[in-house]
A and B are shown apart, each in its own frame.
Chain A
């Protein structure tokens, strides 16, 4: 029997091989296209998310005192990150190249957020006039435990309605804090006695990762940051940071200290505010050794009206507005460079506020701010 295949048989086999190879190549091409498209879509999505975040933050930053609860359940699987170094803030989606940088607006947020709801809130920072809006970013699963029975604790709890905030007053309650399903827990010691370096972290919080259990303690005009260590004790994170504020109700600097991740991020964002303060000081008072600004216009006007009583708080009396503003300008520049001089900035802000009030109390005078 002749076993050699006939011409027709060879041709049919060849056609099938040809079809198989061509099919496989086309299939591989489309699989490659789909895989590539998936990667591109994910990258585009993360870029789009960051762009939307930028818009949300711009809107929230200017809508003073408005709390925005944003549903981000579609991003629940992603981790948003926030950082700040050298006066430049950064945020984005962890593990992707999508990120945004911001050297202007101070935003105070945890280092990471992984949640289905984002909470954005802003408060004006005044020193003594409005400098900038502080933007607070947090999430529904970031729990804030407020300790202490001081007026600020009550004020904070009342003004953060809708946030994940719990107010505890006794030591026993503190020892029994349960993180539940929260992503992270921040303890706020408003008195400054509970959180101390080396003291134990409440038992149920010990199951969370070290970076997920943090604390902030207020005392003597400064704020100290803590986090859980491997031995389940509180460990101080860097030196205490002085709070530069006039200690009013809804003190933006104090609230910012609560919402920000750590001392470095707090300092970094405050520096952005001090930079803006320097520029606003220029609008009000011109440059050092170069008269100008709004104050010069007031001096020009009242210079032509020698009978006006407004000249007294403006320029004549010892603690006058012109001197207070000049001092405030110097102190703002110094505080940005050296945090230890920031107490002078608080003092000059108070002096400026007093001088401006004195001008306003005369009735007919134009005030600086």
Chain B
């Protein structure tokens, strides 16, 4: 053992000692910088996800608001103001065709990637109408179309449905589902 110790060159010179000291300081410094960066990137990632969540929620509310006030659907009566939270079923049925035909050239500008469905609850809970459906998708190399969204934010709003198809005004009851994607 004693012999071995004698073979190892001793750190006698002050210069050598300083270099080792500097390397150790630099090593600790870079370790701290690395941990700092790691912590910062993690924090940024979390806050970005939170921001995206907040923006999606905001978009869901805005899209619902826009849908509820669409002149294409509203219950009007001549020059009087439209009834609040009411959908004219005759207009809704006609609007389905118009919306699907102009989804890319106009309505995407209003609703972006979303799905808007009107569901009747009473008296006929089996009736529903899809007003707008635009999903975010991507095409894979093999030609398969798959979804390209991570989050979906659904919003529900109760509405009355005005039905005049029998020659007189009847009110039904339902809700509107607005789902937005990101």
Contact = CB atoms under 8 A, between A and B. Distances in A.
Contacts of B74: 130
Given A279-B72, A283-B72, A357-B78, A305 B66 contact: no
Interface residues of B, number: 32
Nearest to B96: A283
Nearest to B78: A360
Contact of A292 (B69, B79, B97): B97
B94 A279 contact: no
Contacts of A284: 91, 94
Nearest to B65: A62
Interface in B95-133: 95, 97-98, 102, 106, 109-110
Contacts of B21: none
Contacts of B12: none
A332 to B, nearest CB: 14
Given A103-B109, A356-B78, A367-B77, A58 B71 contact: no
Nearest to B58: A55
Interface in B31-90: 58, 62, 65-66, 68-69, 71-72, 74, 76-79, 81-82, 88, 90
A367 B65 contact: no
Interface stretch (A107-115, A293-301, A341-349): A293-301
A366 B89 CA distance: 13
Given A55-B58, A301-B167, A369-B76, A283 B94 contact: yes
Interface string B139-171: 000000000000000000000000011111000
22 contacts: A58-B62, A58-B65, A62-B65, A102-B109, A104-B109, A130-B74, A130-B76, A132-B71, A276-B71, A279-B102, A282-B94, A282-B98, A283-B91, A283-B94, A283-B95, A294-B88, A301-B165, A301-B167, A308-B167, A360-B77, A366-B167, A369-B76
Contacts of A62: 65-66, 68-69
Contacts of B68: 62
A131 B69 CA distance: 11
A99 interface: no
Closest 7 CB pairs of A and B: A62-B69, A293-B94, A130-B71, A366-B164, A282-B98, A294-B90, A283-B94
Interface residues of A, number: 40
Interface of B: 58, 62, 65-66, 68-69, 71-72, 74, 76-79, 81-82, 88, 90-91, 93-95, 97-98, 102, 106, 109-110, 164-168
A283 B102 CA distance: 12
Contacts of A360: 77-78
Contacts of A180: none
Interface of A: 55, 58-59, 62, 64, 102-104, 126, 128-133, 275-276, 279-280, 282-284, 286, 292-294, 296-298, 301, 305, 308, 353, 356-357, 360, 364, 366-367, 369
Nearest to B106: A279
Contacts of A308: 167
A76 to B, nearest CB: 25
B95 A129 contact: no
B167 A292 contact: no
Given A104-B110, A129-B76, A283-B94, 7 more contacts: A64-B81, A126-B79, A130-B71, A279-B72, A279-B102, A294-B91, A298-B90
B140 to A, nearest CB: 31
Given A58-B65, A279-B106, A280-B71, A364 B168 contact: yes
A18 B114 CA distance: 61
Contacts of B102: 279
B98 A279 contact: yes
Which residue, B58, B71, B76, B97, has most C-beta atoms of chain A within 10 A? Answer: B71
Contacts of A367: 77-78
A130 B95 contact: no
Contacts of A280: 71-72
A364 B169 CA distance: 9
A279 B72 CA distance: 8
